[in-house]
Amino acid sequence: MNNFLTIADARRGLKAGKFSAVELMEYYLRMIDKHQDLNAFVTINYEMAIGAAREADARIARGDDLPCLGVPIAVKDLFCTKGLRTTACSKILSEFVPCYESTVTSNLLRNGATFIGKTNMDEFAMGSANITSYFGPCFLRYRRKSNGSMRLVPGGSSGGSATAVASDLCVAAIGSDTGGSVRQPAAFSGIVGIKPTYGLCSRYGMVAFASSLDQAGSMTKTVEDAAIMLKAMAGYDCNDSTSANVEIPNYPDYVGKSIRGTRIGVVKEYLDGLTPEFLEAIKKAEGWLKDAGCEIVEVSIKTLTYALPTYYIIAPAEASSNLARYDGVRYSRRSEDANNIDDLYLNSRSEGFGEEVQRRIMTGTYVLSAGFYDAYYAKAQKIRKMITDDLHDNAFSSVDLLLTPTTPTTAFGIEESNSMSPIEMYLSDICTVSANIAGVPAISVPACLSEDGLPIGIQLIGPHFSEGALFSAAGVIEKAAAFSELRKTISVS
């Protein structure tokens, strides 16, 4: 079996009978076993995984042909999976086995996917380094050239999914992105990550963090796979009141399509303060897009400087409200140490939530409290509107897509992350949160390696429902960057 199979490769191999779905699943289960030290998975049910693969083989034998049939896919542990533990990597949900399937995972199942297991993540998707998980940190297999002994993080919060794809522990994975949690770890791990338009993928059955920002996204080895995955995941769902009732184009058709004449805006605000190697990465991407016939223009979107503080008011506010449901009474873990109802709530929540989650709940309740609502939450909502208008009326009236770095740095070391203040950690989302605030789609694609030999990701942002255009442009960068060759030169553990 070839290493680093894509969905497209896996489907070809399965159809040609080169290997069976069971063999494919067994191969990845062995890979997960071999790389247990990465801590990419938190739950694997071997019987369920092999059973699903066996069923896929039977369907392949019957002549069924579906985009993901027999393809082992990893699922971030915040998508409810029927009969398979779903914890959001929190102690408070550590015993939760859903009796229903999320819409995104059922859509994937309908398209033939076989689930290999649930991936590690920051607790309740709050974090940028995958260090707040109840099950311990997840590691990146890559190492810095200058310091081979330092263990690096894959980014967060979908760190497990990122590492699983980047280390070839599965063919593709899904994650969720509230402020960058698909794109930032994709950039750190040298893979492709897309956050679609808000409403394109149903949120039904996803453990909620900040409902007006949360979106499911895919994490894949190639842009083509990202297109295949999104086509399989997206679609209207009456169980999500914010689900968009739009026709889902055949995204794979957009990969390889000409982008001649596309106007690309390079956002000035995101270039200020970038290190020389990140500036150079942007320059390279500009050159590749120009060679493909794009026009590059510099744009200024002044309100973007407020995106991060706005996000860190709205996201905790919504989180504090969403997390109020975990009271130790229904499906969440109950404290043993309680003699009355007040203690039961207090102790269940104090024992069940980690430090970062408690920080978000406190920030959220503070900004929503009667005395501070107008000063923080109401103001943040107004600024959110300004940012959204600025993107639409200003940026997307003069350019088709925006080009930015995905992150301001490459992957950090685990010790570096542990010593970062919460604010320093929040700053790693500086380039990603605006797409969530405005509900527009954005994709991260690996562009080059840093001097220290780590992946640098480039982000493309488009107007609502421009996923097709994003796949076309990201495909151009992917091809020109020839990252599949660069990947082979990265030092690994």
* Residues involved in catalysis: 76, 157, 181
Angstrom distance (rounded) from CA 117 to CA 125: 17
**Which residue's Cβ has the minimum distance to ligand GLN?**
181
Q: Closest distance between ligand GLN and the C-beta of residue 156, in Å?
A: 6
- C-beta closer to ligand GLN: residue 65 or 355: 355
Pairing between strand 295-299 and 263-267?
A: parallel
Q: What are 91's two structure tokens?
A: 């102690």
Q: Which amino acid is at 79?
A: F
Q: Which residues bind ligand GLN (CB under 6 A)?
A: 125-128, 157, 177-181, 209, 315, 429
- C-beta closer to ligand GLN: residue 181 or 189: 181
- C-beta closer to ligand GLN: residue 377 or 483: 377
Residues 6+ apart with CB under 8 A from 197: 215, 244, 439, 440, 441, 464, 465, 466, 467
- CB-count exposure of residue 149 (10 Å: 0-12, 13-18, 19+): exposed
- C-beta closer to ligand GLN: residue 8 or 131: 131
Q: Closest distance between ligand GLN and the C-beta of residue 409, in Å?
A: 14
Q: Closest distance between ligand GLN and the C-beta of residue 316, in Å?
A: 8
Q: Which amino acid is at 150?
A: M
Q: Closest distance between ligand GLN and the C-beta of residue 412, in Å?
A: 13
Q: What are 194's two structure tokens?
A: 């897309």
- C-beta closer to ligand GLN: residue 49 or 307: 307
Q: Closest distance between ligand GLN and the C-beta of residue 39, in Å?
A: 19
Which DSSP string corresponds to 146-214? S-TTS-B---SSSHHHHHHHHTTSSSEEEEEESSSTTHHHHHHHTSEEEE--TTSS--TTBPPS-TTT-
- C-beta closer to ligand GLN: residue 262 or 363: 363
Q: Closest distance between ligand GLN and the C-beta of residue 167, in Å?
A: 21
Q: Closest distance between ligand GLN and the C-beta of residue 381, in Å?
A: 18
Angstrom distance (rounded) from CA 393 to CA 36: 49
Q: At what angle do helices 21-34 and 46-61 cross, to 10 degrees?
A: 150
Determine the distance from the C-alpha atom of residue 251 to the mean position of all C-alpha atoms in its chain, rounded to a whole number: 18
Cβ pair 7, 229 in contact under 8 A = yes
Q: Across-strand partners of 218?
A: 174, 194
Residues 6+ apart with CB under 8 A from 171: 5, 6, 7, 10, 24, 28, 71, 72, 73, 221, 225
Instruction: Classify the phi-psi angles of 30: left when phi > 0, otherwise alpha if psi is within -120 to 50, otherwise beta.
Output: alpha
- C-beta closer to ligand GLN: residue 125 or 191: 125
